[in-house]
Amino acid sequence: MGEFQVKKQTKKYDAVIVGSGAGGGMAAYMLSKAGLKVCLVEAGYMYDPQKNITQLKNPWDSPRRGASTTNRPFGDFDACYGGWSLEGEPFTKEKGTDWSWWRARMLGGRTNHWGRISLRFGPKDFKRRSIDGLGDDWPIGYEDVKPYYDRVDKLIGVFGTNEGLENDPDGYFLRPPKPRLHELFIKNAAGQAGVKVIPARLSILTEKIDSTTERGACFFCGQCNRNCSVAKADFSASNVLIYPALKTNNVDIVANAMVREVLTDKEGLATGVSYINKEDMTEYQVSGRVVIVAASACESARLLLNSKSDRHPNGLANSSDVVGKYLHDSTGAALGGILPQLFDRKRYNEDGVGGMHIYSPWWLDNKKLDFPRGYHVEYWGGMSQPSYGFSWGIEELNGKYVVKGKKKEAGGYGASLKEDYRYFFGCGVGMAGRGEAVPVETNYCSIDPDMVDKFGIPVLKFNVKWSEHEIKQAKHMKDTFKEVMHNMGAIITWGGDDDASNNYGLAKPGEIIHEAGTVRMGSDPKKSALNKFSQAHDCKNLFCVDGGQFVSQADKNITWTILALSMRASEYIVEEMKKNNL
């Protein structure tokens, strides 16, 4: 595949795409299938899930037994290379504000390890301002995106069930897996608390899918975060979009290429991008009829803000001055504990799919609550593969609970201790909320005037704070989780003591890794960077197809909507090119 050695690539592409995750991967797939010549530029390493394999490894295959490293914070076996801090690529924060920034640096980006939670936005999610007066409505509605959600369902595959819920729309679902034992307990306990529980919706093929013969069905190893090298049964941009796109021979991939700037001509139109090749540290340029940025919400904003010219003195697509603003993440709060009824449980393989088999979509009406937006609940527990940290802190358990009919002293050693580890294996349970934050103009990232990274590219400075809306929502999460835990007789061992002093355990902004809002779309060019087709108001051949374009991100993981919007923007590009508008 095409790795360039020339400074100025003479080949003129139809599209240059920056970033190869869900947004960039889908654009590369759609445009190459339509016959366009695509150059896909990725800041990280080349990656081939068929060759680079961590799936089905045993814990002892890692000398640190799956513990995390700087570039694999989710552990040695996790497929995503990147992390919370990258060598030579700093960022800064305004004093008194917070932002944790996850950056993937590999082909396919974070789709290689994500939780595969694939939720459509509902009709209300596009029109929040009309409902609660906060934030802004999208310039499009559910009916505009629905056809693309339908096609993404069929192309990529997602399991779930049609429940006829108003704001959690039905789709084209594969069969979900049956709940695990602890999930049956959760379902009953949540039900008693009035919390609705339905089958999870994850982009994992529990059955073969009609759209392709290249992918197999899930064989239930529970390791989607390692990416499904064996069967390609889960969605990753690499396995499902980019490698199939390469087969068209219309795509060249340039990996290890950090894009510095989007280039524009005298008329202010995009002509391509300049990038630094991280292997030889040489500067290159590549040109295309359209430029599509999909580098992640914050990296895309950074790129646009750094692309200044006479025609675009405030950065590209930024005459509105909104680029970088309205930055928001999902909210998150969690707690966990143990289920005494699972002590000394029978052993069997309950790996299941790589994630929860059930979840709770938002079940309440915010008009009756003291916070404006909802959240969904994710659950976990049971017998999973031991890794670093396994059975840490047994001294907190084995003195409190009678083991095999014997009251024991906490701690200990020897054969009696080995009995305890066996006795408590698989009794864990936990839950986490993922909620919608209200995007505001005062939460933003901008270019730090004083600092560049090792490539000489000016870095981002973050300025984000949670508001009362998010903190009250976190309190509600914790209250709900405690009730669910109580109802099933679980004992909370962590996350149960949060209070106002720590925002009820609300995760810091950025920690949930759902960054969005920085290049938002809208009808008014003065208040938005993009139009409703993800196209820049100020530069008609520039598009942004990642989380940057989101006006708000609902209480739904954003990947499925990124895919749908990228598919939609890609078709628009093809049509506009046919009409010679691009």
Partner 1 sequence: MDRRKSLKLIATGIIATPVVIAGCKTDDTKAKAEEPKFSLDRNPDELKYEKELLAKENFFTGHEMATITILADIIIPKDDVSGNASDAKVPEFISFIVKDMPNHEVPMRGGLRWLDMQSLKRYDKSFMDCSHDQQIELVDMIAYPDKAKPGMKQGVAFFNLMRNLTATGFYTSEIGVKDIGYTGNKPTQWNGVPDDVLQQYKVAYTEKELKECVSFEKTN
**Residue 273 to residue 293: CA distance in whole angstroms:** 10
Q: Are 428 and 183 in contact (CB under 8 A)?
A: no
Beta bridge mates, 359: 198, 378
Distances from the Cα of 364 to the Cα of 123, 188, 360, 473, angstroms? 16, 18, 11, 12
Binding mask 12-51 for partner 1 (x = CB under 8 A): ---------------------------------x-----x
Give the nearer residue to partner 1 in terms of CB position, either 106 or 246: 106
Alpha helix locations (H) across 410-531?
415-424, 468-487
Kindly state the number of chain residues that form the binding site for partner 1, as judged by CB under 8 A.
82
Site for partner 1 in 152-171 (CB under 8 A): 159, 161
The correct pick among 61, 321, 441, 479 for binding partner 1 (CB under 8 A) is 61
Tell me: does residue 379 bind partner 1 (CB under 8 A).
no
Site for partner 1 in 397-416 (CB under 8 A): 399, 409-415
Least distance CB 51 / partner 1 (angstroms)? 8
DSSP state of 577: H
The piece of 73-81, 260-268, 443-451, 469-477 that touches partner 1 (CB under 8 A) is: 73-81
Give the nearer residue to partner 1 in terms of CB position, either 256 or 553: 256
Tell me: does residue 455 bind partner 1 (CB under 8 A).
no
The whole-angstrom distance between residue 413's C-alpha and the CA centroid of its chain comes to 42
Q: By three-state DSSP, how is residue 376 classified?
A: strand
Site for partner 1 in 309-368 (CB under 8 A): 341, 345-353
Least distance CB 233 / partner 1 (angstroms)? 11
**Residue 60 to residue 80: CA distance in whole angstroms:** 20
Site for partner 1 in 218-237 (CB under 8 A): 219-223, 230
- Tell the burial category of 493 from Cβ atoms under 10 Å away from its Cβ (0-12, 13-18, 19+): middle
Give the nearer residue to partner 1 in terms of CB position, either 410 or 451: 410
Least distance CB 210 / partner 1 (angstroms)? 16
Residue 211's identity, in one-letter code, is S
**Residue 459 to residue 92: CA distance in whole angstroms:** 8
Tell me: does residue 492 bind partner 1 (CB under 8 A).
no
Tell me: does residue 421 bind partner 1 (CB under 8 A).
yes
User: What is the number of residues in the chain?
Assistant: 582
Least distance CB 128 / partner 1 (angstroms)? 31
Binding mask 167-206 for partner 1 (x = CB under 8 A): -------xxxxxxxx--xx--x----------x------x
DSSP state of 525: T
What are the DSSP E strand ranges found in 147-279? 198-199, 251-254, 257-264, 270-277
Least distance CB 511 / partner 1 (angstroms)? 21
Neighbours of 94 (CB within 10 A): 16
Least distance CB 63 / partner 1 (angstroms)? 5
